[in-house]
């Protein structure tokens, strides 16, 4: 294979690889290595009283730095838990007269980024740093590409790779050099586990529903399309799992939930990715008032489990997840922030107000989308503390039960935190005749050119005709919630592999890691 496209450092590493092989050293040995400890366990638990427990430690990880001291070296090993200092002495690695293995392999052929295994014992250096005195060293994986440059000071690592193209496309390298990135994803897992624990403890049942759907239902969004060859039919990646979860309520389950990977063929920005994670759950014999209280309890618990407190720093703001949360109707919110009462306006009046306020609209937008545009442009950004926006107009909510007391409204809320929607919930519509009429209204919007209008799902209508009990449902944006709890401003920072434009990778166009800055 031609290596003309490689950087000087990459060529040198391949030469070292060939030399190791010539010396009979396997650069990629069999995977079994008897690890019995890790960096953090040793640094946390080693004392003069416990040193016998650490007299024979075996750990493995990546070389992150080396200080050459002549007949000895200090190195930093990074494993999946953290980092620890190694003390590697030539006489210990090569106890006989021939010291060439140490001089050639350790000092010339090993590089930063190589993965090694070490056996030895823990001790504390004269400077007070808990370290491992290495008696045996094994190469486990030779690294052929140099790591991006990082800066270290006062015991902290500062990521020198600020190019988002590199960080998001080569997440594996970003994780190696930047411990804070790994911490974000550990917190993401804690968040999901906390929510799952809450729901399970309250009697909910976790289920799975189809990702490939013949009708993309449950939300107003543009779907991704595909084709099933065996059935010779078009299929859609799901935009929501709502209608399937409601089918299960019809079938007799009282409380079901799903962490759902959803797909929407729409724009990308700091809060939108075409593939994202939603938690939805549906509970029989409950309404949206119960759902607001349950949401408060769930999020307060999640904040405590993930961050250890309910008052969290998000950017330059402190946001409190302590219940209860503020509640305000969407019409009152629009009145508060625009000075205009739109509650009695028709479609043309709403369009006129939008134009007066310099909000971009078009003739495909019905009353619901115009109100949504008003709220999104003029109101949403103002709600920093957790706030329930409640009582939406019926035109905005084709799957929601009509309000029990207020004509023309439905029992719906959106939870807004830090100016962004985090959750959307309803008292679910269970009247099959009303639901059919609202689907038909959506079909008319689709005919006008609204490519986010809902399809008519006749099987879901059939399910409702068997009878669905009064039900409350909610959908949480897990990615956005994770952004809040980890203090990240971009959704790409809480997705391990965010969607990106495909990259040309061949011998001529392969990017050079050393050029990342």
* φ, ψ of residue 102 in degrees (nearest 5): -65, -50
How high is the mean pLDDT of the chain? 91
pLDDT confidence tier of residue 514, bands split at 50, 70 and 90: very low
Query: Are residues 17 and 60 both part of a single domain?
Result: yes
Measured distance CA(279)–CA(257) in Å, rounded: 7
Q: Which of 414, 423, 436, 430 is nearest to 469 (CA)?
A: 430
305-309 — which CB contacts under 8 Å span 24+ positions? 305/190, 305/191, 305/193, 305/194, 305/197, 306/187, 306/190, 306/191, 306/194, 306/485, 307/187, 307/485
Listed residues 89, 122, 147: the one ending a domain? 147
Number of H helices, E strands in the chain: 15, 20
Whole-angstrom CA distances from 455 to 216, 445, 468 are 7, 10, 20
Q: What is the pLDDT of residue 439?
A: 87
The percent of residues in the chain predicted with pLDDT above 90, rounded, is 76
Check whether residue 114 and residue 186 sit in a common domain. Answer: no
Q: Is residue 311 part of a domain?
A: yes
For residues 123 and 31, membership in a common domain is answered with yes
Q: Residue 430: give its domain's CATH number.
A: 3.30.930.10
Give 461's contacts (C-beta < 8 A, 6+ positions apart). Answer: 432, 435, 436, 439
Q: In this structure, is residue 398 part of a structural domain?
A: yes
The residues that bridge with 227 in the sheet, in sequence order, are: 234
Q: How far apart are CA 192 and CA 105, in angstroms?
A: 45
Residue 168 lies in a domain: no
- Which of 131, 147, 163 is the C-terminal boundary of a domain? 147
- In a shared domain, residues 202 and 122: no
User: Does 459 fall in a domain?
Assistant: yes
Tell me if 312 is assigned to some domain: yes
Q: Is the pLDDT of residue 508 over 50?
A: no
Based on the fold, state whether residues 444 and 308 are members of the same structural domain: yes
Would 166 be classed as within a structural domain? no
Q: What does the pLDDT read at residue 513?
A: 46
Highest mean pLDDT pick, 146-155, 171-180, 385-394 = 385-394
**Residue 404 lies inside a defined structural domain of this protein:** yes
In angstroms, the CA 217 to CA 33 distance is 50
207 and 254 share one domain: yes
Residue 18 lies in a domain: yes
In this predicted model, what pLDDT tens digit does every residue of 9-50 receive, in sequence order? 999 999 999 999 999 999 999 989 999 999 999 999 999 899
Work out how many domains the chain is built from and give that number.
Answer: 2
In this predicted model, what pLDDT tens digit does every residue of 188-234 receive, in sequence order?
A: 999 999 999 999 999 999 999 999 999 888 887 899 999 999 999 99
Is the domain of 96 the same as that of 196? no
Which residues 6+ apart lie within 8 Å of 320 measured at CB? 310, 311, 312, 385, 386
Supply the range of the domain harboring residue 315.
Answer: 181-325+385-494
Token pair, residue 512, equals: 């050079």
Confidence label for 516 from pLDDT (cuts 50, 70 and 90): very low
Q: Are residues 196 and 279 in the same domain?
A: yes
Query: Is pLDDT above 60 for 157?
Result: no
Are 319 and 449 in the same domain? yes
| Same domain, residue pair 124 and 228 | no
State the residue for tokens 């109707």.
329
User: Residue 92 maps to which CATH number?
Assistant: 2.40.50.140
pTM: 0.88
Per-residue pLDDT reduced to its tens digit, 304-340:
999 999 999 999 999 999 999 999 999 999 999 999 9
Are 99 and 201 within one domain? Answer: no
User: 107 and 199: one domain?
Assistant: no
Pair type for strands 115-124 and 130-141: antiparallel
């Amino acid at each position: 294979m031609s290596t003309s496209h490689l950087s000087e450092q990459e060529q040198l590493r391949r030469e070292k690889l060939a030399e190791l092989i010539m010396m009979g050293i396997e650069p990629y040995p069999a995977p079994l290595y008897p690890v019995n400890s890790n960096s953090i366990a040793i640094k946390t638990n080693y004392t003069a009283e416990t040193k016998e427990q650490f007299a024979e430690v075996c750990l493995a990880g990546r070389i992150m730095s080396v200080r050459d001291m002549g007949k000895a070296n200090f190195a930093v090993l990074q494993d999946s838990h953290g980092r620890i200092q190694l003390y590697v002495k030539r006489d210990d690695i090569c106890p006989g007269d021939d010291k060439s293995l140490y001089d050639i392999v350790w000092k010339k052929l090993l590089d930063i980024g190589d993965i090694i295994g070490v056996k030895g014992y823990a001790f504390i250096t004269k400077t007070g740093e808990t370290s491992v005195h290495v008696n045996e060293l094994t190469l486990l994986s030779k690294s052929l590409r140099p790591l991006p440059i990082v800066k270290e000071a006062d015991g902290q690592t500062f990521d020198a790779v600020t190019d988002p193209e590199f960080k998001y496309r080569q997440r594996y390298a970003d994780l190696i050099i930047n411990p804070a990135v790994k911490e974000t994803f550990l917190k993401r897992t804690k968040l999901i586990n906390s929510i799952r624990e809450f729901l399970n403890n309250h009697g909910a049942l976790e289920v799975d529903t189809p990702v490939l759907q013949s009708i993309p239902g449950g939300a107003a969004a543009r779907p991704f399309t595909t084709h099933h060859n065996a059935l010779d039919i078009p299929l859609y990646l799901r935009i929501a799992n709502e209608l399937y979860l409601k089918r299960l309520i019809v079938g007799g389950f009282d409380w079901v939930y799903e962490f759902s990977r959803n797909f929407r063929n729409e724009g990308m920005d700091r809060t939108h990715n075409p593939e994202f994670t939603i938690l939805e759950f549906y509970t029989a014999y409950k309404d949206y008032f119960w759902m607001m209280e349950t949401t408060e309890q769930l999020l307060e618990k999640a904040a405590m489990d993930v961050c250890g407190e309910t008052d969290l720093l998000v950017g330059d703001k402190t946001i409190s997840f302590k219940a209860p949360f503020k509640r305000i109707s969407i019409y009152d919110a629009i009145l508060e922030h625009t000075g205009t009462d739109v509650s009695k306006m028709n479609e043309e009046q709403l369009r006129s107000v939008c134009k007066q306020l310099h909000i971009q609209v078009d003739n495909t937008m019905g009353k619901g989308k115009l109100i949504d545009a008003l709220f999104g442009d003029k109101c949403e950004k103002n709600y920093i503390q957790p706030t329930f926006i409640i009582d939406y107009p019926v035109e905005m909510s084709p799957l929601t039960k009509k309000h029990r007391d207020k004509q023309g409204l439905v029992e719906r809320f959106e939870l807004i935190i830090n100016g962004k929607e985090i959750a959307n919930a309803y008292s679910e519509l269970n009247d099959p005749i009303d639901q059919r009429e609202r689907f038909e209204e959506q079909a008319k919007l689709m005919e006008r050119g609204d490519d986010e209008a809902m399809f008519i799902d006749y099987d879901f209508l059939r399910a409702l005709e068997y009878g669905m009990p009064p039900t409350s449902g909610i959908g949480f944006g897990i990615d956005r919630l994770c952004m809040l709890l980890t203090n990240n401003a971009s959704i790409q920072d809480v997705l391990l592999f965010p969607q990106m434009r495909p990259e040309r990778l061949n011998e001529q166009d392969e990017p050079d890691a050393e050029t990342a800055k």
